């Protein structure tokens, strides 16, 4: 099993809007690709960060081929939608973890 972990730091002024959009639009779109079996949204607890709020969105998939197909065929368009919606108000990085 694999966890696709997407870390997003979003400007505080847009954090509420971003979270609603993620829950109502982006995450359902990612799940609709059929490559992932579940998801979870976590918020980093760090009261010292005044420049933004950091979230981890985790998507679970059963095998590496599913993730690679998602990354190749679906991720570019979904990431473009996110970038067009939130512009320079966020930074993101992505990792893939294997559950051992």
% of residues, the chain, pLDDT over 70: 96
**Going from the N-terminus, what domains does the chain have, and what CATH number goes with each?**
2-98 (3.30.70.100)
- Mean pLDDT for 74-94 is 95
What rounded mean pLDDT belongs to the chain?
94
**From residue 39, how far is each of 55, 86, 87 by CA, in Å?**
13, 21, 24
Q: Note the pLDDT tens digit of each residue in 9-56.
A: 999 999 999 999 999 999 999 999 999 999 999 999 876 666 789 999
């Amino acid at each position: 099993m694999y966890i696709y972990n997407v870390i997003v730091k979003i400007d505080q002024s847009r954090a509420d809007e971003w979270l609603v959009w993620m829950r109502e639009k982006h995450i359902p779109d990612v799940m609709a690709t059929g490559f992932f079996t579940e998801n979870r949204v976590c918020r980093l607890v760090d009261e010292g960060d005044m420049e933004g709020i950091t979230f981890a969105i985790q998507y679970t998939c059963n095998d590496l081929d599913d993730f690679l197909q998602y990354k190749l065929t679906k991720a570019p368009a979904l990431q473009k939608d996110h970038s067009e919606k939130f512009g320079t108000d966020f930074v993101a990085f992505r990792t893939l973890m294997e559950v051992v």
